Structures are given as C-alpha cells and as structure tokens.
Amino acid sequence: MSLDKSVKSQSPWQIGFERLKKNRLAMIGFTLLCIVVTISVFAPLLTSYDRDAIDTLNSYQKPSAEHWLGTDELGRDTFTRLLYGGRISLSVGLVSTSIAVLIGVILGTTGGYHGGHIDNIIMRIVDIFMCFPFFLIAIVVAAILGPSIWNVMIISGILGWTGIARIVRAEVLSLKEREFIEAARALGLNSRDIIIKHIIPNIMAPIIVYATLGIARGILSEAGLSFLGLGVKPPTPSWGNMLAAAQSMRSLRLHWWLWIPPGCLVFFMILSINFLGDGLRDALDPKLKQ
Amino acid sequence: MYKYIIRRLLLMIPVLVGVSIIIFSLIHLAPGDPYSAMIDPNTPTEEIENMLQNIGYYDPLPVKYTKWASRALTGDLGYSIRYQEPVVDIITRRIGNTLLLSVLSLTLSVVIAVPLGVISATKQYSKFDYIATIFAFIGMSLPAFFFALLMIKFLAFDLKLFPISGMQTIGSGYTGIRLLWDVVHHMMLPVIVLSFLQMASFMRYSRSSVLEVIKQDYIRTARAKGLSEKLVVYRHALRNALIPVITLLSSSLGFILSGAILTETVFSWPGMGTLIYQSILNRDYPLVIASTMLLSICVLLANLLADILYAVADPRIKYN
C-alpha cells in the first residue's frame, strides 16, 4: 500500500480549523464579523458625507435616498457616523482585549509557574477583582477619569483580565509538571524563556478562545459606558454614544433611525463573536467545553 | 465542613479590605470636592477652609480610610451628601425594590429556562434544540439596555401596553389592590428584559450539564436495566445535572444586583442600580462607597453559598 501524498500529517491547528469550517454558526459569525470590519475600515469610500459635517437645516431627517439612515439633531448623516463609529467600537474591543490578555497571561503564567507566595498574592488580587461588580466599578472609574476613548479601553482591559489569568494559571499548573518542561529546565533555560517559548505556545488555544469572547465584552462595555455619557466623547461617533440619542424621550419615541441601527450593530457584532468564540472553543479546545 | 465555612469567611476579610481600599482611594482621587455644591457661594473662603479642615477633608488618605473603616465597622456608613440623611436609611429604602425585581426575574428565568435546557439536551440536534440554541445566543448577545429601549419604544410608546418608566403612576393616589396592580404593571417590562437575558445562560448551562451526565456509566446502566427514557432522564440524570445550575444561580445573584444598573436606569426603577448611578454622577461619595461595598459583600457571600450548596448537593465533593 502506497502512502497517498495528499494525506499529509496535520498540525493540531489545522485539525482545529478544519473542524471550525464545518461549524455553520461559527462561519456565519466569522463572515458577519469580516463584513462589518471591512465596511468600517473602508468607511470613507462608502459614503460621500463628512463624518462631522453639520447641516442644521436638515436635522432629524427621516431615512431617504439621500440620507440612508436619516440625520441626527445637527443634521449629520447617521449612516456615515455608523460606519465611522464601527471603527471606534471595534478598536475599543480589540485594544481592551489586548490589555486584558497581556495582564492575564503575564500574571497567570507567573503565578502558575512559580507557585508559592507569588501565586498566593496574585490569586488574592484575582479574588478582589472578581468580586467587583464589573459595570459598577467601570462607571465609578469612568466618572473619575472622565469620558474618553482611551479610558474606556483601559477600564475594560484592567477589569477584564481575571478570567484569563485563572484559566492560564490552571493550564500552567498542569503543564509545568510535564517532561518536556522538566527537560527544558534541565537544559538550563531560565524561567522566562521556558514560559515564553514552551508554555505559552501550548496554551494558545484557551487564550484565543477567551480573547475572542473578550472582544465582545469590550464592545459591550463601550456601548454601555458611552450610552451613559461616560465613554467615547462626541463628536467622535461610536455605537455607544450614538445609542445615547435614546436617552432623550423624544428621540426614543420618534427618531428610531438614530438609535436602533447602532444598537442592532452592537447586537450583531456580539452575536457573531459569540458564535465564532463558541465554535473556536469546540474546535480548538474540547476540554474547555462546558 | 464548618471548618471550611469559617476559613472561607475569614478569607473574605482581606479581600473585603482590599476592595474597600481600592474603591476608597479611587473615589478620593477624583478631582474637586463634593461639598462645593452644598455651600452658599457667599460664604467667606476662610470659613469654608475651616469647615473642610474640621470634617477632615485635608487628612491624608490613609487617615481618612482608617476613620471611615472604624466607623463602618460599627455600622455607621456615613451621611449622604445629596440626600442629607444617613446612607443606611437610603439603602434600606431602595434595596427592597431591587430585590423585588431581581428575585422575580431570577425565579422566572430558572423556571422557564431549566426545563427548556433539559428538553433541548434530550433532543440534541433536533429542530427544537437548534431554535433554543439560537434563542440562547440572542439572549447572551443582546445588550440589556438596548433590549430595554426597544421594549419601551415598541410596547410602551407605540402599543401603549405598559407604562414607560418608574414604579408607580405619579400622583395617582392608588391604594390597596389598585396600587398593587399599578406596581405590577410597571414591573412587567423590566422583569421581561432581565429574565429573558438570564434565561439564555441558564438554558445553555442546564443543556450542557445534562448532555455531560447522560454520557456517564450509571446512565447506561439505568438504560440497560430497561428503564424508560423518561425515567432515565428525569429520575436519574436530572438530579446530578442540576448541581452545576446551583452554582450559576448563586453567582448570578451578584451579577443581577450590579448588572441591573443599566436596566434600572433605563426604566427609572427606584432601586440600587439607579441609586448608585445617580450617586456617582452627584459625587455622593459616602453613598457610592457604601453601596459598592454592600454589593461586593453580596457577591462574596453568593460565591460562598454556591460552594456550600454544591457540597451539600453532591456528596462526592469534599472540602478540606
């Protein structure tokens, strides 16, 4: 029997992505995500209006052929602001997740690998952060630091690292007893190299899954904080501060085109990320499946 | 077991101290003093300075914290700057409204979602399972406040089925059964919103838990004995499958108390969420610190309760 050339050995990653491709919901989520990212990135090509161009004669226009999603109280084109707002909301999601992953992985690996007092202290800090009611503290901090896009990113990142630190620590605890880590230690590698070169590549799967779901959380906290006026400051549009139009009873009742489209986009983004994250979990890390 | 509970309670102390220090410092780092709004602008500056000196406004942070903590331990949580009355009184007045909302929506979501999750698991990959899964994902992804806004717009404004906000019709002077109905009527939309969103996670959780238990050997034995599928699932599997749901139930207690901030604010429900949000905006620091601490204690106790219930329900779990 000859070995067929097409039967190549597959890396765990390839197997995972093969599995992911078969998950219909995950692929729907992935496609939606790509579409929204693309239209936000290429926003200037898709609209002829200026993001902040004020046209007070045409305020609160209903959706029409001219203004696809109408205009807001200053006569700015809602559709245009929605596209640009996507850039802001998505980057808040990405940056805050990166902060959370960075802190979580550093503290999780340090605690798990070294154990002892360091681990104890880190886990107590995790306990403290975990009993913070997330949104409550986010509002307190946002009110103190003042509304700005950077503050939203930092708040959501700093409050979001505990989950990933716990998972990473648990994975490291079981990994560090394995032979290949012992071999690396016997070869004289220092602990930083062992963690970076041998441990982290082996725990990428749960990190990726968690980071994906974290982006949804970032988008959601941006929306919530900006809705309360504690997030991204106008005139920069974000989906959250566009939703804040609904704070006014009149707009809530009469001007649906101002707040329903950004709300739907937030919803669809989180939904797609949840689909994709769930699919990634099934595909990459069956252990994590609840 | 008792030893375990006591140890956990003792461990709560450093965590609570940590939480209070962080919240306390955060709030005192905020620029500006909250008293300026209370003082008559014609008061001479020296007098203001004197007064601020007297109430300890210029004390270093550690001194302030020690003062606050020693008073808090005796149950004195301070005096609300905005409402001009003791913080404890305000909180006791508000917390009932929040409990009403959260207990009701939690019960409702468990009663509906857990059976749906179990059915979904027993009919895995069926149409029912597919639809239930999609609904669960929608519930998990829909921002609570956006859902609340949609409900207000369509059900309250357009169809006029429900009142728009608040807890009672202002100035109605209803009493007895009319008042009760009025409150229930106001409560419906927030309860619908909160329970729909929580149902999602309960459904997913009970579904995956049943799926896990069904794979186990003792279920195969039960089937091999010739028991009907109904008996196997509802008598043998369900008991064990529901144990993790207990954990979720307790942990969502903490979530519900704080996660309802936006929902309560959108509906102007006079509960803890609205209170906290407004006191943050008003820089009513004593109130912010007290309510944040209270919520943190609730979260910690709920977590402990989850672990204890878990051990009670499942004798295989041993704490040492």
Task: Give ipTM to 2 decimals.
Answer: 0.87
Q: CA-to-CA distance for A283 and B295, rounded, in angstroms?
A: 37
Nearest-Cα residue of chain A relative to residue B292: A136
Q: Whats the size of chain A, residue-wise?
A: 290
Chain-chain contact of B276 with A216 (C-beta, under 8 angstroms): no
Span B170-189, mean pLDDT? 83
A9 CA: distance to closest CA in chain B (Å): 31
Q: Are A225 and A167 in contact (CB under 8 A)?
A: no
Chain A residues near residue B141 by CB distance under 8 angstroms: 216, 267, 270-271, 274
Looking at the complex, report in whole angstroms how far the Cα of residue A227 sits from the nearest Cα belonging to chain B: 9
CB A279 within 8 A of CB A18: no
B171 compared with B92, residue with greater pLDDT: B92
Alpha helices (runs of H) in chain A, residue ranges in sequence order: 12-22, 24-41, 43-46, 78-114, 116-130, 134-145, 149-159, 162-175, 179-186, 191-193, 204-227, 239-243, 249-254, 256-284
Whether A139 is in a domain gets the answer yes
CATH T-level fold of B87-313:
MetI-like fold (1.10.3720)
Q: Which residues of A touch B287 (CB under 8 A)?
A: none
CA B120, distance to chain mean position in Å, is 27
Q: How confident is residue A290, by pLDDT bands cut at 50, 70 and 90? A: very low
Which amino acid type is present at position A199?
A: I
Please answer yes or no on whether B143 and A259 come within 8 Å at the CB atom.
no
Asked if B296 is an interface residue toward chain A (Cβ–Cβ < 8 A), one would say yes
Residue A55 lies in a domain: no
Q: Is B273 in contact with B265 (CB distance < 8 Å)?
A: yes
Q: Chain A: give the shortest CA distance to residue B298, in Å.
A: 9
A238: tokens are 């974000």
Q: Is the distance from CB of A226 to CB of A232 less than 8 angstroms?
A: yes
Residue B204 distance to chain A (closest CA, Å): 9
Full 3-state SS string of B257-319: HHHHHHHHHHHCCCCHHHHHHHHHHCCCHHHHHHHHHHHHHHHHHHHHHHHHHHHHHCCCCCC
**Which residues of chain A lie closer than 8 angstroms to B152, CB-CB?**
252
Q: What are phi and psi of A245, to 5 degrees?
A: -55, -30
Token representation of residue B251:
């942990």
- Give me B192's structure tokens: 């619908």
Does residue A121 come out as left (phi exceeding 0), alpha (psi in the -120 to 50 range) or beta?
alpha
Task: Please indicate, yes or no, if residue A203 is contained in any of the structural domains.
Answer: yes
Distance CA B314, CA B1 (A): 13
A137 with B149: Cβ contact below 8 A: no
Residue A53: pLDDT band (50, 70, 90) is confident
Pick the more confident residue, B41 or B181: B181
Whole-number pLDDT of residue B35: 67
For the segment A136-166, what is each residue's pLDDT rounded down to a tens digit? 888 888 888 888 999 999 999 998 899 899 9
Residue B148: other Cβ atoms inside 10 A:
25
Separation in Å, CA B286 to CA B23, B31, B194, B196, B271: 11, 16, 29, 34, 17
CB-CB under 8 Å, B29 with A144: yes
**Which residue's entry shows tokens 């509802």?**
B234
Select the residue of A134, A228, A274 nearest B137 (Cβ to Cβ).
A274
Minimum mean pLDDT among A161-175, A261-275, B253-267: which range? Answer: B253-267
Question: What are the structure tokens assigned to B219, written together?
Answer: 């279920």
DSSP B119-171: HHHHTTTSHHHHHHHHHHHHHHHS-HHHHHHHHIIIIIIIS--S-SSSSS-TT
d(CA A38, CA A88): 13
Q: Do B30 and A143 touch (CB under 8 A)?
A: yes
CB contacts of B15 in chain A (<8 Å) are 124, 127-128, 131
Q: Per mean pLDDT, which range of A25-39, A46-60, B95-109, B114-128 is the poorest?
A: A46-60
Is the minimum CB–CB distance between B252 and chain A shorter than 8 Å? no
> What is the Cα–Cα distance from B256 to B98, expressed in whole angstroms?
9
Enter the tokens of residue B97. Answer: 């409204």
Q: How far apart are the C-alpha atoms of B18 and B13, rounded to whole Å? A: 9
Give me the mean pLDDT over the B79-94 stretch.
85
In angstroms, the separation between the Cα of residue B134 and the nearest Cα of chain A is 9
| Phi, psi angle pair for A226, to nearest 5° | -65, -35
CATH number at residue A209: 1.10.3720.10
Q: Domain for residue A4, yes or no?
A: no
CB contact B171 to A (< 8 Å): no
Reduced to 3 DSSP states, what percent helix, strand and coil does chain B have, rounded to the nearest 5?
A: 75, 0, 25
Chain-chain contact of B19 with A133 (C-beta, under 8 angstroms): no
Q: Does residue B79 sit in helix, strand or coil? A: strand
| Span B282-318, pLDDT tens digits | 888 888 888 888 888 888 888 888 888 877 777 776 6
Using DSSP's 3-state secondary structure scheme, residue B86 falls into: strand
Contact A127 B15 (CB under 8 A): yes
Q: Which residues of B touch A271 (CB under 8 A)?
A: 137-138, 141
Residue B250 has pLDDT above 80, yes or no: no
CB contacts < 8 A (A, B):
111
Residue A142: inside a domain? yes
pLDDT for residue A289? 47
Question: Cβ contact (<8 Å) for A252 and B153?
Answer: yes
Burial label for A9, CB within 10 Å (0-12, 13-18, 19+), is: exposed
Domain ranges of chain B: 87-313
Interatomic CA distance for residues B230 and B289, integer angstroms: 52
**For chain A, what is the domain count?**
1
Beta carbons of B30 and A144 less than 8 Å apart: yes
**Domain presence at residue A66:** no
Domain housing A139 = 11-39+71-283
In chain A, the residue whose alpha carbon lies closest to the alpha carbon of B263 is A224
**Chain B residue closest to A144 (CA)?**
B30
Q: How far apart are CA B196 and CA B289, in angstroms?
A: 31
Cα atoms in the 13 Å half-sphere on the side-chain side of A280: 18
Residue B314 Cα, gap to closest chain A Cα (Å): 18
Nearest-CA residue of chain A relative to B28?
Answer: A144
CB contact under 8 A, A267 and B19: no
pLDDT 10s digits, A57-108: 888 888 888 888 888 888 888 899 999 999 999 999 999 999 999 999 999 9
Which stretches of chain A sit within 8 Å of chain B by CB?
25, 124-125, 127-128, 130-137, 139-141, 143-144, 216, 220, 223-224, 227-228, 243, 246, 249, 252-253, 256, 259-260, 263, 266-267, 270-271, 274-275, 278, 289-290
